[in-house]
Amino acid sequence: MALWRWLVFGCGAVFGIIVPAWNAFKWLIGWGEHIEFIAHRVHDIHYVGPMLEALLNPPPWLPLASVPVGLFLIWLALRRGKGPLDPAVTQFAGAMPPAQNEFSNDIPDVRIADDTVASGLFETSNGRDKLIPLLEAGKLIAWGRLGNGNPAPTKIPADQWATHYLDNRPADSPGRINQTYFRPRSRPYESTYYDVHLNRGQLKRVWPGLWESPPSLVDAESIRLAGVVGAVMEATLSWSFKLPLPAGDIWIRRYNELKVSAHPIWTDDRVRQLRIEFLHYCGIVGQPLGDAREVIDNRKKLYGFGRQLISILKGEQLAEDKGDNGATSIDRIPCTELLKMATDRGWDFLGHDSLHLMDLQDAIRQGGSDNHLTVWGRLKRWSNESLLRNEILEKIPAEHWRAFYVHLWPACDGDNFYTKSWTPSDTPQNYLDLHVDRREAAAWLDREAASFRGKRKPDQRGMP
């Protein structure tokens, strides 16, 4: 590019400045005759005369002849490409925001089933408290597929978010894919839309750093709190430990320090829930009730929660507990514990006029039938209670719940063994001592089960 610029500049200088200036110079000083004499004599010098004649009196066709030459030089310069830009220009261009496609906010480019960041917004209260109101108001747009044959995603009406919820289902076997379903709360076994999508640009306007790795909240204080957790756990797991303790005991001070700690790491829902579970089981282990097996199970749970909490507070990588076959281990809990988890979420099992226990029984039956909640129990093979207590916990088939109902009333008195499935015809092949998986039950309580709370009416009190 510089070559033709200099050429054009040189031609312009010769024809636009030098020649007029030369003529003006001759006119001003009146030395025209002398100049003509000199020029005439110089003609005698070999090659000099024609050159001077061409410069001083260029032929009229010369500018036209120079046009194709100039165009050829410009084409040649363009083929060579551009040179490096000025650093100041580069810095200015880098500071400018990239141009956005006008359709970038209208494309369903985030498949929730495959995006753990987007699906996490539906799993935590902090995410839901922002996301759901924005979806209901139409400020954020969601898309889903409606019908068979893998149709194109269509917009989900904003007003449906008040009556529906998102059900996220990871792939449960090889060859299957992760999937999401948009289900009505009143009929959680049905779905309207599936394969729900959101838009990345819209989400980033609400959460600017959503897909960026959050800064670590582990610091010297969180590491110190990990030591406090370890001290409380070690003292609690001592076989000589028993509550209540004398006022001012160091265990009480450490327990309360963990309970009221306002460190930023507790803003993570998972870490905060671990703290709740750890402190809860400290109280259970400190007041050993039930048979020896239940006491041991509670101690194992306390140790598990404590180990996870210490690892997170210290910033250590925590591997999931695996069984011998490499599968994720199951954290089975009795229905007495399920009632406590539901109570923490606003269910009322103690009110005189509350029908929430019946609601939960209905929810468990539906969840078990839909394979949304895994329920274990001891098959009633014997009439002898001692033999029944030694039976293994079996996964109850989904088909079982078509004919059987759930009985949870003994769990309200702390007796889980007599929670059971039952039928009005008193079919003997029922299950006792019902259990569920902690993680699965926690997610189920926040989703499908929530639509059952308050569903029973007073005139339905005596129904199964």
* Domain boundary assignment for the chain: 2-93, 105-206, 220-313, 332-460
Asked if 161 contacts 135 with a C-beta cutoff of 8 angstroms, the reply is yes
Q: Look at residue 210 in the predicted model and tell me its pLDDT.
A: 78
Q: What is the token pair recorded at 267?
A: 């803003």
> Which of 149-170 are b and which e, b meaning 16 or more Cβ less than 10 Å from the residue's Cβ?
eeeebeebebebbeebbbbbee
Please give the residue that has the higher pLDDT: either 199 or 189.
199
Asked if 332 contacts 376 with a C-beta cutoff of 8 angstroms, the reply is yes
Could you tell me the end-to-end alpha-carbon distance of the chain, in angstroms, rounded to an integer?
Answer: 89
Mean pLDDT of the chain: 79
> Which of 32-66 are b and which e, b meaning 16 or more Cβ less than 10 Å from the residue's Cβ?
eeeeeeeeeeeeeeeeeeeeeeeeeeeeeeeeeee
Q: At what angle do helices 48-56 and 19-29 cross, to 10 degrees?
A: 90
175 Rama sector, left if φ>0, alpha if ψ -120 to 50, beta otherwise: left
Q: What is the token pair recorded at 177?
A: 């894919």
**Cβ within 8 Å of residue 461, ≥6 positions away:** 355, 358
Is the bond preceding residue 244 a cis peptide, omega within 30 degrees?
Answer: yes
Q: Select, from the ranges 220-234, 267-281, 300-314, the one with the highest average predicted confidence (pLDDT).
A: 220-234
Tell me: pLDDT of 50 over 90: no
Q: Look at residue 232 in the predicted model and tell me its pLDDT.
A: 94
User: What's the pLDDT tens digit per position in 192-219?
Assistant: 899 999 999 999 998 887 777 556 788 8
Q: Look at residue 156 in the predicted model and tell me its pLDDT.
A: 95
Can you give the pTM of this predicted structure? 0.37
Please give the residue that has the higher pLDDT: either 399 or 328.
399
User: What's the pLDDT tens digit per position in 124-170?
Assistant: 777 888 899 999 999 999 999 987 777 889 999 999 999 998 988 77
Q: What is the token pair recorded at 424?
A: 């009005």
Tell me: pLDDT of 29 over 70: no
Confidence of residue 55 (pLDDT cuts 50, 70, 90): low
Distance CA 344, CA 436 (A): 17
% of residues, the chain, pLDDT over 70: 74
Distance CA 211, CA 105 (A): 17
What is the pLDDT averaged over residues 247-258?
93
Confidence of residue 434 (pLDDT cuts 50, 70, 90): very high
Please give the residue that has the higher pLDDT: either 6 or 365.
365
User: What's the pLDDT tens digit per position in 372-417?
Assistant: 899 999 998 888 888 888 888 889 998 899 889 999 999 988 899 9
What is the pLDDT averaged over residues 163-191?
79
Distances (CA, A) of 415 to 125, 229, 260, 286: 32, 30, 32, 19
Q: At what angle do helices 19-29 and 32-42 cross, to 10 degrees?
A: 130
Q: Look at residue 17 in the predicted model and tell me its pLDDT.
A: 66
Tell me: pLDDT of 80 over 80: no
| Residue 310 CB neighbour total at 10 angstroms | 21
Q: Look at residue 149 in the predicted model and tell me its pLDDT.
A: 72
Tell me: pLDDT of 273 over 90: no
Asked if 364 contacts 375 with a C-beta cutoff of 8 angstroms, the reply is yes
Average the pLDDT over each of 294-303, 334-343, 357-366, 448-457 and give the range with the smallest value: 294-303
**Position of tokens 């005139």?**
459
User: What's the pLDDT tens digit per position in 98-137?
Assistant: 445 677 788 999 999 888 788 878 877 778 888 999 999 9
Tell me: pLDDT of 324 over 50: no
**Cβ within 8 Å of residue 293, ≥6 positions away:** none
